[in-house]
Amino acid sequence: MEKIELKKSIEREKALLTLAFVLTVLAAPSFLISMPQVRVHVLLLVMMISATIFKRIKRLNYKLSILSK
pLDDT per position as a tens digit, 14-61? 999 999 989 888 888 877 777 778 778 888 888 899 899 999 999 999
How high is the pLDDT of residue 55? 94
For residue 33, the enclosing domain spans 2-67
- Give the total number of structural domains in the chain: 1
Q: How far apart are CA 37 and CA 56, in angstroms?
A: 31
20, 52 in Cβ contact below 8 A? no
How high is the pLDDT of residue 34? 78
Q: What is the pTM of this model?
A: 0.74
How high is the pLDDT of residue 56? 93
Q: How far apart are CA 20 and CA 42, in angstroms?
A: 16
